[in-house]
Every structure is written in structure tokens, then in C-alpha cells.
Structure 1
């Protein structure tokens, strides 16, 4: 279990780091400061704390899921898509200021994580709660991106 956890921690935090690097100045950019943001946009520090918590929970979830799933090819495919969407959203939104494409990507990411949550629920049962922070955060992030799309 511990080796799987370490592998998934490395994978998840690497993806998070790559996305952050590709974002440029990200949330501290002049562009982001100037756009209309949703009234429920959390303070900047919440994003970092949320993502650390999410990736730890997601890693634990995956460490439990990996040995119990029969179709590893499906799981790997879902994870690759999830990583690609997670990494891609940052530069699309923050570096290239493409709010509409960012919305499409984050909706896709939310759907993938939601699919993982519900598809594997029967295998992990209550341990699936570990994926809820990620799914809930994506619902919030999607609403923030949607607001930016509608108001900018």
C-alpha cells in the first residue's frame, strides 16, 4: 500500500506542479486580477490548501483502487485523460486567457472525475469519499470558470 501511495503522490503532485508551471503568473497575474470574478471566489490561499488536500486524498483513493480494479487499462486511460485536462486547464485559462476553452476543459475534467467516483464506487464503497474533495472542488471551479465566461 505504501509504495502505491508514494507512486500516486508523485504522479498527482507532478501533474499539479506541471500545470502550475505552465500557468505562468496564474492567479497573481494582472490579467486575472482585472477580470470579473464570481462573488464566491475564495481567497488565493484557499486554492493551494485545497489542491494539496485534494491530491493527498486522491492519491490515497488511487492506492486503494489500483489493486482492486480488474480493468487496469480503463483506469489508466481515465487517469491519463484526467491528468491531461488537469494540466491543460492552467495554461489555457491563465497563460492564454482562453476562458471559453478553459470552461470546456474543466467541464471535461469534472465529468471524468465524476465518472471515476461513481464507476468505482461499487468497488471502494465508503473509501470513495476520498474522491469527494476533488469532485466538489471541480464543481466549484467549474462555477467560477462559468462565471468568468459569462461576465467577461
Structure 2
């Protein structure tokens, strides 16, 4: 059943969208709280609507990236599952640390680890995935931006 690309794509897409959903639930209205609104944010902070749009797009593309990688490595490859699961937990965990607990410094550690993991994904598998490596590029770009936003908040609040 998991031998078809479309099936694997929907497995990864479902897991990715579940991470987004859980992350939003853990935010506890974070971007609309007085705490967040009162923070000094980076001048390059995108408008709020862009975050949902960017993350949704990233997760659709990342599902394609992981689908292709799972055919290169095998769907149940231990290393691949560990990397993907770690990415998933860091992605969800950042929302809780930053928005729910207001731990901006700890959030920065989490987002830096997530950025390093996405850098690892991007460059470790590029020779195997060739042109499919471009599917993770938006994730990498967004993580660089998000990390810079978190860093700015830590340094200026």
C-alpha cells in the first residue's frame, strides 16, 4: 500500500499538517496575545497572514521532498524516520516554547536546532534527490527568516 508515491505523499502531508495543527493549538493564541504584541519585533517581520500561507506551502512541498527521499532510502529507514520525527517535534515544540511559555531564549535554541536539521536535510541528500532538492528550499529560506526573527526578539526584549 505504501509503495505508491501518492500514498506516501499523503502520509507525509497528513503528518506535516498535523504538526501545523498541533503547533497552532500549542500557541495558545500566541500572535494575538498582549505579550507578543508588546514585543519589539524585527523591522522585517512579515504580516501575520504570511506565516500561515508560508507554512502551509512549505508543508506541501516538504511532503513531496520526503516522499521522494523515502523512495531513495526506503519508507521505514531508521535514520530517515529519526530525522523526520526530530524535525516534527522541534517544529511543534517551538510553538509551545515561544508562544505558550514565552521562553524566547529556549525558543531560539529549538529553532536553531530545527534550522540545522533542515540545513542537514538540504545538503545531505541533494546528490540523491537532484532537482527534487528544490522542494526543501522554501523550508530552508523560511527557517533562516524565522530564526532571525526569534534572534531579534531575544536580543531586543
Question: How far apart, in 1, do the equivalents of 2:85 and 2:12 lie?
Answer: 13
Name the stretch that deviates more: 67-76 or 52-61.
67-76
> Which whole-Å CA distance do the structure 1 matches of 2:99 and 2:127 have between them?
37
Q: SS of 2:141's equivalent?
A: helix
2:45 aligns with one of 29, 41, 45: 41
* Shift of residue 91, structure 1, vs aligned partner: 1.1
Runs of 5+ in structure 2 lacking a partner?
none
> 1:85 matched to which residue of 2?
90
Q: Does 1:118 align with 2:123?
A: yes
> Moved runs in structure 1, 4+ residues, more than 6 A?
none
- Equivalences, count: 152
Return 135-144 or 67-76, whichever deviates more. 67-76
CA deviation after TM superposition for structure 1 residue 36, in Å: 0.5
TM-superposed CA distance for 1:150, in Å, is 0.1
What is the rounded CA distance, in whole Å, between the counterparts of 1:9 and 1:80 in structure 2?
14
Task: Determine whether 1:135 maps to 2:118.
Answer: no
Give the TM-score taking structure 1 as reference length.
0.97
SS state of the match for residue 43, structure 2?
A: coil
Contact in 2 for aligned 1:99/1:148 (Cα 8 Å): yes
Residue 20 of structure 1 and its aligned partner are, at CA, apart by: 1.0
Match of 1:29 among 28, 33, 40: 33
3-state SS of the aligned residue for 2:46?
coil
5+ residue gaps, structure 1, are none
Describe the superposition over 1:63-117 as per-residue Cα deviations: whole angstroms up to 9, x where unpaired.
Answer: 1110111581111110111011000000100011100000000000000011011
- RMSD after superposition: 1.0
TM-score, structure 2 length as denominator?
0.94
Kept after mapping to 2: 8 A contact 1:69/1:123: no
Tell me, in whole angstroms, the C-alpha distance in 1 between the residues paired with 2:19 and 2:49. Answer: 19
